Structure 1
Amino acid sequence: MKKELLIMKSFLEDTHKHGGNGSPTTITTQLFQTFIANTRDLAYQVEDIIDEFAYHIHGYRSSTKLWRAFHFPRYMWARHSIAQKLGMVNVMIQSISDSMKRYYPSENYQGASSLLPMDAKLVNNISESSLFFSENSLVGIDAAKGKLFGWLLSPEPQRIVVSVVGMGGSGKSTLSANIFKSQSVRRHFESYAWVTISKSYVIEDVFRSLIKEFYKEAETQIPAELYSLSYRELVEKLVEYLQSKRYIVVLDDVWSIGLWREICIALPDGICGSRVMITTRSMNVASFSYGIGSRKHEIELLKEDEAWVLFCNKAFSGSLEQCRAQNLESIARKLVERCQGLPLAIASLGSMMSAKKLESEWKKVYNTLNWELNNNLELKVVRSILLLSFNDLTYSLKRCFLYCSLFPVNYRMKRKRLVRMWIAQRFVEPIRGMKAEEVADSYLNELVYRNMLQVILWNPFGRPKVFKMHDVIREIALSMSKTERFCDVYNDGDDDDDAETTEDYGTRHLCIRRKIRSGSLRTRNLHSLLVCSSSKQIIELPPSLNFLRALDLEHSAITKLPDSIVTLFNLKYLNLSKTQVKKLPKDFNKLINLETLNTKHSKIEELPPGMSKLQKLRYLITFRSNNGHDSNWNYVLGTRVSSKIWTLKDLQVMDCFIAEAELIKNLGNMTQLTRISLVKVRREHGCDLCDSLNKVRRLRFLSLTSIHEEEPLEIDDLIATASIEKLFLAGKLERVPSWFNTLQNLTYLGLRGSQLQENAILSIKTLPKLVWLSFYNAYMGTKLCFGQGFENLKTLDIVQMQHLTQVVIEDGAMIGLEKLYIRACRGLESVPEGIEKLINLQELHLTHVSDQLVERIRGEGSIDRSRVKHIPAIKHYYRTDNGSFYVSLSS
């Protein structure tokens, strides 16, 4: 049956490659779509049967002989039931196969697979029509036009490639066409060609299109033998024609770097100053190394005021008075907001709404925008262009992408959360020596590079941390997910009338936004359940979650887990972060397939006995903080664990636990650990702690906090430091550890309460990868001097240095610094000496510093104003009896 499941998945993947995704986006027949849907449902059933069989087998084999003897009849009945289900599945597989042969002969399937999707043709036509857009379609492009004109008309003699990248519908083609048609470009270049590239291009056809464009623009007769020329003859004709000319070529909607590798041979790189423009949705294509001088422009979505102007141009012919006269401004602005600055969506929606005069009609469209996007012919272009990006994804990437539509509109999706949920659902598996986590990271990057997910927060080290899905893309993705019974959202929206469209009828992955009505959901086949309710209303978990693999209750108002949760044999991912749950069920160790347990910022203070039985556990995240300020030494609270957790051989993340002698001694048994966070570390732990950590060779993150401020951290004997990328030490250090200068991969260093008498800077200034550095009451001296070094440092945080009166930045030090924070350093009466040398400094944040320091840089003419005038953002944070405030000192 597993082999049959692989065959079914291969079939589904093949149909996805040809656009057969359950939506009317191709010319494949409705009958064939039915075959796809039936096969998908069967694949779902087979997955569930396999999971059910594994559950019964484990329960029987892991029990005592007496239990097995007593329950043998029930076990045999379960096996009989599963055999019956498999028999029914085999019958259904044969039935589908016979139906395909009867109604859809193989030659029809082959024909359908090879035909070009109608949407692809539509998109190509739209791309070509960009050359004829009216000026009222062009809003917010002046700055981009100026930059691109500068690049295209620059005096460099070599051929230069200029890439314009953005998500589907963002206006790449419109902007490029406006520039391509301009008189400035026409006067500057001798030959011109615009070619739209299809995903399934044939390079010879691209060459022929280029030749026709060049000859047409030159008003020259197109060679009669053009369609009989071979690849080599086409290349020779292009090279011969362009060799001595200054030409401009626009390659519109390029999908892969492979096109450039094939076409560049036909575009001479002479000394005439020729240019090639590439528009693409892929950051990989835009970032490719095309040669000296090549440049990339990333399209930005329209700002609120620009989006409003474009919408008014389309909906009201530019007349705001007409909008106000019809009492439509309020609802119109809401519609524009839903488009989130995407020009194609704004223009298409505006054109559609131009024919609607009644406020009730506008409100109906707003409340049913999801339906409109999927069914209204006037918005078909939006769906078609965005679906083209989706259809270009691999089958695995499609599932990962659709899964993101579970989260609410504008939801901030964290990287680690997505990665772990994808792994729990088996969307991502190890390949070619890469861990599943690494594969998932590459999938996320690919979705970002394709502009299908937006990065809204990067960590200080340049890695994407938080993502969001554009609202219009999410609506289309969620619609497809519902069609495939893949994802659904229960009661997503503000109107109770839409509840009937969001209830679950056999979906695999479900997000609950509101309180569940008793008996309203069929949840037996659920594999994921997310609760994303913004209210404090307590949501009870539905019954019958037998096949659940991921349960995410983050930020929900749940206070107690039902005891029945321990029966969820397939559960791999459990997220209780930011909930009010105080303890886990006593039989929690029955969840033997659990891989991720996240209780971060919950009320759980201790893990139950028997955690050592969860041998598949990989991520154990128990970080908590108290309600006080971070100046409190015990701001971070650890979780206590009583069982022999060190027997978990697959554990990778252990964050964060109370240090106890037995745990410390046995840490080294968990050789797969990449992240360790311990609090309440004592001086006497030092020897055993170092011995254990020296055995953990894959450690990338280490955080150690002593039991109180005056308790030294004895870590001089730590030697296995080469792999550490992030290090946080909170506790007294009697000396700078000798191994500091061996941290060649360190990107983040935080020292708190170190109370060092010697300057630690000498030991760390040469660390090549250090990006973020924090000194929090770490140095007892009066002068902190930064000499040459810290070449890659981007952020420096100096906090609560009670004795500090002077900071000096020497020539060549921290040349790349972008952010400087000085907090609660009352002894400092002036900004650091040499701050004027930090030419890349973008932000200076001053929190609870002396009045003298502030007055020396406040306003023109102040003593030190000239030393900080190059810094774009300077902010002063202070506290009074009325609260906390900040003021800008930038101007």
Structure 2
Amino acid sequence: KEMRIALPNRQLGSRIMLTTQKVDIAFYSFGVESHVHRIQLLEKNEAWELFSKKAFSTYHNKRCPPELESSAWELLGKCKGLTLAIVALGGLMSSNESSMEWRKVCNSINWHLINDHFLEPVKTILFLSFNDLPYRLKHCFLYCSIFPEDYLIRAERLIRLWIAEGFIEHVKGVTLEEVSESYLMELNFCSMLQVVRCPTIRQACKMHDVMRELALSTLEKEKFCVVYDGREVMEEIRARSLSIQTSEGEIKVCKGMSQLRSFHVFVTGVFSPSILSTLLSQFKLLRILDLEDVPIEELPDGLMYLFNLRYLSLSRTSIKKLPESIGQLCNLQTLDISDTEIETLPKEIAKLVNLRHLIMYRYSGASWEFRYAKGIRAPSNICMLKKLQVLSFVESDSEGNFLKLVGNMTQLTHIGITNVKGSNEMNLCASIQKMKLLRYLYLLVTSEEEFLRIDALASLPGPLPHLQRLLLSGKLETVPSWFASLRSLTDISLRWSRLKEDLLPHIEALPCLRRLILVNAFVGNELCFNIGFARLTHLELLNFPFLKNITIEEGVMPKLQLLILHCCMKLKALPHGLEFLRNLETLRLGSVPIKIIENIREGGVDHPKVQHICEIDQIYKTSSATSSAR
């Protein structure tokens, strides 16, 4: 009966239903009109309905008996909405009728797929997906399990780790980064990784817990990685990677550490500097050292003798200075010193001839404030690094000498420059025009009143043909005329531009634009989304002190999923036409008039406009506190 509803008889001939985990196959037309339904993680009630159909099909009324309900919900919780796991586990439990058997499975199941004979049918189904992967993707997939459960993995970080591990094939005419991105896309298309939408991370993914345990079981068999979670004492390591995921217990030197190739720490407070130095003295062959968020103030002794090191992350540590001996790490490909206390790079940085990614921004204040990111001062000889792909953020000197030299780095794909001066417009634009491979461009001024002058790009031939992301922070006199030519642009972020003219007509026709963030970018009273924005999924309007009205015409932004309005205290009402955004999933309101909040509540005049939105976050200030509702 349910199938007949889903496949109505229109007297047009046969109906064919194809199931696949591969997105490219699903979207292949086969010469006929087709509809693609993507299976998402199931909500709680949907998951229960599916599980009950499989587990209780032989029971009275096909319902869960009261004595099994507690165990059934516990088992269902372990599936976390994954359809494949729900169906497999439900079928497995359908033959168990006693509450004792159900409790036994509940107590034993932790998705440790190696030893749990109860889960053999589940394991068999999941391994089919893994075995179907091309060989080049298998290690990339398995590697994702080194991250903790439910960890949000930044795509750029994962790509750089894959490169450092040597997983990426060399393809003529294509960069390693581009090949890595295609691998990530394939894993998403095969449903082995979940792409996650997050306002603070442009591109992120995560592993479902069940898939992660599948990967961990395989890693242990292959002696590829050991995940230390505090359950057992580490006496010997027989693997090439070690991932520390608990602060319980003390990490000590043990047999086998000298063979480690990668060392990751995902918890804070684990190491004293002396213990870390002792450990590093054992890591003679180390290629990857990931100390993100570890509370250290200086580099450990022995680090500069890790000559095989390809990847070093000190992000969000308290490191204040890089030593001159950093130049000894001649094989280093990625150096991440973002959100540290480092202000200047030593001139020895130019000895890192294999460096591909230099990430060194420092955030300052909230995303809607002016001083959003700071750069780090670099010596002029950094422009000699011919393999460097990513340089972000570097602080320009006031005279503009760096802006002249950086034009020699024609291989750059990402660049972020702070302390940009209006007087250096010609040097800046001439250098940018030489970067034919540039995909990400971030330009920031230092003073609120400093003008960001980049109009000269319009007079140069073929500016930025491959640009995908653009961030401009600083006053703009006019909307740059070359905006409309950015046919590959997916992300625009304009901060403190304070434009007097309407920006939207200049960018509404961009064919690839998916993400638009405007922070105090317009000083007018009204924003009108009249046409276009066909592929936009993410829109943020932050810190608009004069904005009173927002209008959205029907048919505009048909794919918008996330809308954030923050610090718009003169806004009179919700955007007119909000009800036309039928694909809007999340609305976030912060520091808007309390009247707007009241009007969208049940019974309010604007409640019908938001009934179709799954998630509404409301954060507003009262006289004594900040309140939040959902």
TM-score bracket for the superposition, by shorter chain length: 0.7 to 0.9
Query: In the superposition, relative to structure 1, how do residues 345 and 812 fare at CA in structure 2: closer, same or farther (>3 Å)?
Result: closer
1:139-175 residue CA offsets vs partner (Å, 9 max, x unmatched): xxxxxx84x4334333151xxxxxxxxxxxxxxxxxx
- Map of 1:644 onto structure 2: 381
Q: Is the 8 A contact 1:454 1:467 kept in 2?
A: yes
Residues in 2 aligned to 1:875 and 1:383: alpha-carbon distance in whole angstroms: 39
Q: Which of 880, 885, 888 lines up with 2:622 in the alignment?
A: 880
Residues in 1 aligned to 2:348 and 2:333: alpha-carbon distance in whole angstroms: 15
**Deviation at residue 478 of structure 1 after TM alignment:** 1.9
Q: TM-score, normalised by structure 2?
A: 0.86
**Deviation at residue 711 of structure 1 after TM alignment:** 0.8
1:613-668 residue CA offsets vs partner (Å, 9 max, x unmatched): 11111111112213x33343223222222352111111111111222233222111
Residues in 2 aligned to 1:866 and 1:412: alpha-carbon distance in whole angstroms: 34
The one-letter amino acid of 1:790's match is: F
Secondary structure in 2 aligned to 1:519?
Answer: coil
**Deviation at residue 721 of structure 1 after TM alignment:** 2.9
2:434 pairs with 1:695 = yes
**Deviation at residue 571 of structure 1 after TM alignment:** 0.9
Q: Is the 8 A contact 2:479 2:501 kept in 1?
A: yes
2:295 pairs with 1:552 = no
2:195 pairs with 1:452 = no
The one-letter amino acid of 1:518's match is: K
Q: Which of 4, 28, 32 lines up with 1:288 in the alignment?
A: 28
Q: Is the 8 A contact 2:55 2:94 kept in 1?
A: no
Query: In the superposition, relative to structure 1, how do residues 509 and 657 fare at CA in structure 2: closer, same or farther (>3 Å)?
Result: same
The one-letter amino acid of 2:388's match is: L
- Map of 1:466 onto structure 2: 204
**Deviation at residue 400 of structure 1 after TM alignment:** 1.7
- Map of 1:155 onto structure 2: 10
Q: How does 1:84-483 map to 2 (within 5 A)?
A: 146=2, 148-157=3-12, 273-301=13-41, 303-304=43-44, 306=47, 309=52, 313=56, 321-322=66-67, 329=70, 336-341=76-81, 342-347=85-90, 350=93, 357=100, 365-366=108-109, 370=112, 373-457=113-197, 465-483=203-221
Larger Rg: 1
Q: Is the 8 A contact 2:380 2:402 kept in 1?
A: no
**Deviation at residue 582 of structure 1 after TM alignment:** 3.0
**Deviation at residue 564 of structure 1 after TM alignment:** 1.1
The one-letter amino acid of 1:149's match is: R
Residues in 2 aligned to 1:301 and 1:814: alpha-carbon distance in whole angstroms: 25
Structure 2's unaligned 5+ residue stretches are none
1:84-120 residue CA offsets vs partner (Å, 9 max, x unmatched): xxxxxxxxxxxxxxxxxxxxxxxxxxxxxxxxxxxxx
Q: Which of 395, 402, 410 lines up with 1:663 in the alignment?
A: 402
- Map of 2:446 onto structure 1: 707
Aligned residue pairs, count:
610
Secondary structure in 2 aligned to 1:698?
Answer: coil
Query: In the superposition, relative to structure 1, how do residues 691 and 754 fare at CA in structure 2: closer, same or farther (>3 Å)?
Result: same
Residues in 1 aligned to 2:521 and 2:19: alpha-carbon distance in whole angstroms: 51
Structure 1's unaligned 5+ residue stretches are 1-144, 158-272
Larger % of helix: which?
A: 1
Q: Which of 741, 747, 755 lines up with 2:490 in the alignment?
A: 747
- Map of 1:577 onto structure 2: 315
**Deviation at residue 673 of structure 1 after TM alignment:** 1.1
1:351-378 residue CA offsets vs partner (Å, 9 max, x unmatched): 79867949996686257x52xx324544
The one-letter amino acid of 1:506's match is: R
Secondary structure in 1 aligned to 2:391?
Answer: strand
Q: Is the 8 A contact 1:551 1:573 kept in 2?
A: yes
The one-letter amino acid of 1:676's match is: I
- Root-mean-square deviation (CA), in Å? 3.5
- Map of 1:730 onto structure 2: 473
Residues in 2 aligned to 1:473 and 1:855: alpha-carbon distance in whole angstroms: 43
Secondary structure in 2 aligned to 1:295?
Answer: coil
2:428 pairs with 1:685 = no
Secondary structure in 2 aligned to 1:401?
Answer: helix
2:527 pairs with 1:823 = no
The one-letter amino acid of 1:152's match is: L
Residues in 1 aligned to 2:98 and 2:601: alpha-carbon distance in whole angstroms: 56
The one-letter amino acid of 1:540's match is: L
2:518 pairs with 1:775 = yes
**Deviation at residue 828 of structure 1 after TM alignment:** 2.7
Q: Which of 514, 518, 521 lines up with 2:252 in the alignment?
A: 518
Identity %: 38
Residues in 2 aligned to 1:606 and 1:354: alpha-carbon distance in whole angstroms: 67
Query: In the superposition, relative to structure 1, how do residues 820 and 315 fare at CA in structure 2: closer, same or farther (>3 Å)?
Result: same
**Deviation at residue 487 of structure 1 after TM alignment:** 1.7
- Map of 2:331 onto structure 1: 593
Query: In the superposition, relative to structure 1, how do residues 871 and 468 fare at CA in structure 2: closer, same or farther (>3 Å)?
Result: closer
Report which structure shows greater RCO (CA 8 Å, sep ≥6).
1
Residues in 2 aligned to 1:352 and 1:570: alpha-carbon distance in whole angstroms: 54
Deviating more after overlay: 559-568 vs 469-478: 469-478
Query: In the superposition, relative to structure 1, how do residues 776 and 466 fare at CA in structure 2: closer, same or farther (>3 Å)?
Result: closer
**Deviation at residue 464 of structure 1 after TM alignment:** 8.8
Q: Is the 8 A contact 2:421 2:452 kept in 1?
A: yes
Residues in 2 aligned to 1:358 and 1:747: alpha-carbon distance in whole angstroms: 53
Query: In the superposition, relative to structure 1, how do residues 297 and 528 fare at CA in structure 2: closer, same or farther (>3 Å)?
Result: same
Q: Is the 8 A contact 1:619 1:653 kept in 2?
A: yes
- Map of 1:846 onto structure 2: 589
Secondary structure in 2 aligned to 1:693?
Answer: helix
Q: How does 1:484-523 map to 2 (within 5 A)?
A: 484-490=222-228, 492=229, 495=231, 498-499=232-233, 504-514=236-246, 516-523=250-257
Q: TM-score, normalised by structure 1?
A: 0.62
The one-letter amino acid of 2:290's match is: D
Q: Is the 8 A contact 1:721 1:739 kept in 2?
A: no
Q: Is the 8 A contact 1:573 1:595 kept in 2?
A: yes
Residues in 1 aligned to 2:612 and 2:126: alpha-carbon distance in whole angstroms: 42
Secondary structure in 2 aligned to 1:296?
Answer: coil
The one-letter amino acid of 2:245's match is: R
